[in-house]
Amino acid sequence: MLQQFRQRFWLPPRAHGDVIEDRTVSFLELFYDLVYVVVIARAAHILAEDISWRTFGEFAVVFGMIWVAWMNGTLYYELHGREDGRTRVYVFIQMMLLALLAVFTAEAAGDGGAPFAIVYAGFLGVLTWLWYTVRRQDAQEYLAVTARYVTGMVVSIVVIGVSAALPDSARMAVWAIFVLGWVGGLLLFGSSVRPTEMGVSATDSMVERFGLFTIIVLGEVVVGVVTGLSDTVHNLRSISTGMIGLMIGFAFWWTYFDFVGRRLPRDDGPSLTRWMLSHLPMTLAIAATGAAMVSLIEHAADTRAPEATAWLLSGSVALGLVALVIAMRALQDYDRLPSLYRPVSAGLVVAAGVALLAGWWRPAPWLLALTLVLILTAVWLFAIDRWLRLDDPGEAR
């Protein structure tokens, strides 16, 4: 009976290199990602209430930690997960820890920092155990790679655990180093190890998973608009500002899923790594855009948008556009369709600069939002023009 239980319900993780090419994102993965909706919303809450360089920096660090957690959980399921009971139990354990993490996320830069660190370290502990169980059954060719990864996870647990005892400012500095360490480590790892040695390859399910996380973060723009409208007087100007602001989220969705989403990155280490990491600044920018919406709508009656709000909104749009360029340059289609992607990438960089100029101009809130929408629309129309100029536009789909 016990043997049958293990064979049918409690299977070992898939080994490195055991890639399911036609795998689709499961309902369990969708459920898992939904928890991040709450965690990210809590992270953006403080930034929405008090826009400043300090709060943005704190938000960026906390968001980076959330993204690192999501990426590790996502890659584990993509590379090693199954549809068995063992995978489900461990995913639900992670979800419980994430729900608890959300309780402390809004105050992570202050009084909630210590419990946030403790729960986060516990979450990393679960993931470390899961990655270690993969290593126990890996072929010899993957042992060196998995040893480095598991070592990095153990070091992460120690660093985050120790940070719980530090003062608030020192703790945030350690967390910032932690996020930068992961980004730098992944870039170094991806450039020095071939995908075949990592047991990682670009698949449709991986692309879909990163696209779904982008959709989740786009929901923060909707949350920001609704929160802003709920906290202010309902009149034509505030409602118009909110609806125009919502269109910024629509424009991000349109550009991302037309030219980045559902498209495979190159299957080499550096490109795959850059493609994955480009989603960190991209999703951070979208979430910050949602936070800026609250203040933008609350000041809808002002003749000029508040300076901090204008820079947060325009800067977030600019950052998101630059991140899109990084993602595009890592795609297989960037080489396959250079007449489309190269001019569009250049157009996105120009649009990012113009968006910053709009923030410096600082017009009325509704006009600032409209200006950014027009900038994003112009880029998309330019991209469509380049697409229509292809000999066979259908090949770009």
Confidence check: pLDDT of 155 > 60: yes
Confidence check: pLDDT of 190 > 80: no
User: What does the block give as tokens for 138?
Assistant: 């890996």
- Name residue, tokens 């996320």: 105
Backbone angles phi, psi at 303, to 5 degrees: -75, -25
3-state class (DSSP) for residue 354: helix
Least confident of 11-20, 214-223, 269-278, 341-350: 11-20
- Specify the higher pLDDT residue, 105 or 22: 105
- Specify the higher pLDDT residue, 139 or 155: 155
How confident is the model over 67-86, as a mean pLDDT?
88
Backbone angles phi, psi at 17, to 5 degrees: 90, -10
Q: What type of residue sits at position 285?
A: A
DSSP characters over 107-171: TTTTTTHHHHHHHHHHHHHHHHHHHHHHHTT--HHHHHHHHHHHHHHHHHHHHHHHHTTS-HHHH
What's the pLDDT at 327? 97
What's the pLDDT at 189? 78
d(CA 80, CA 385): 42
Q: Centre a 10 Å sphere on the Cβ of residue 384 and count the other Cβ atoms it contains.
A: 13
Least confident of 81-85, 110-114, 193-197: 193-197
What's the pLDDT at 5? 59
Backbone angles phi, psi at 250, to 5 degrees: -60, -40
What's the pLDDT at 6? 62
d(CA 174, CA 62): 11
Q: Is residue 1 a contact partner of residue 58, using CB atoms and an 8 Å limit?
A: no
What are the angstrom distances between the C-alpha of 88 and each of 13, 102, 133, 208, 262? 12, 21, 16, 20, 26
Per-residue confidence at 394, pLDDT binned at 50, 70, 90? Answer: low
How confident is the model over 362-388, as a mean pLDDT?
95
DSSP characters over 59-99: HHHHHHHHHHHHHHHHHHHHHH--SSHHHHHHHHHHHHHHH
CA 138 to chain centre: 29
For 210-264, how does the pLDDT look when each residue is reduced to its tens digit (9 = 90+)?
999 999 999 999 999 999 999 999 999 999 999 999 999 999 999 999 999 989 9
- Name residue, tokens 């003749």: 303
What's the pLDDT at 188? 85
Confidence check: pLDDT of 148 > 90: no
What's the pLDDT at 69? 96
What's the pLDDT at 395? 62
d(CA 294, CA 283): 18
For 106-127, how does the pLDDT look when each residue is reduced to its tens digit (9 = 90+)?
999 999 999 999 999 999 999 9
Measured at the CA of 79, the angle between CA 29 and CA 88, to 5 degrees, comes to: 40
d(CA 277, CA 200): 15
Per-residue confidence at 53, pLDDT binned at 50, 70, 90? Answer: very high
Per-residue confidence at 71, pLDDT binned at 50, 70, 90? Answer: very high
- pTM, full prediction: 0.94
Backbone angles phi, psi at 256, to 5 degrees: -60, -50
Confidence check: pLDDT of 198 > 80: no
> With pLDDT > 70 as the criterion, what percentage of the chain qualifies?
93
- Specify the higher pLDDT residue, 185 or 355: 355
Share the mean pLDDT of the chain: 90
Confidence check: pLDDT of 49 > 70: yes
d(CA 276, CA 327): 8
Alpha carbons within 13 angstroms on the beta-carbon side of residue 248 total 35
What's the pLDDT at 299? 96
For 321-369, how does the pLDDT look when each residue is reduced to its tens digit (9 = 90+)?
999 999 999 999 999 999 999 999 999 999 999 999 999 999 999 999 9
What's the pLDDT at 194? 63
Confidence check: pLDDT of 195 > 60: no
d(CA 37, CA 287): 11
For 288-308, how does the pLDDT look when each residue is reduced to its tens digit (9 = 90+)?
999 999 999 999 999 999 999
User: What does the block give as tokens for 134?
Assistant: 């993969």
Q: Where are the alpha helices (DSSP H) in the chain?
A: 2-8, 27-49, 53-80, 85-105, 113-135, 140-163, 168-192, 195-198, 204-230, 236-259, 269-298, 307-329, 332-336, 338-361, 365-388
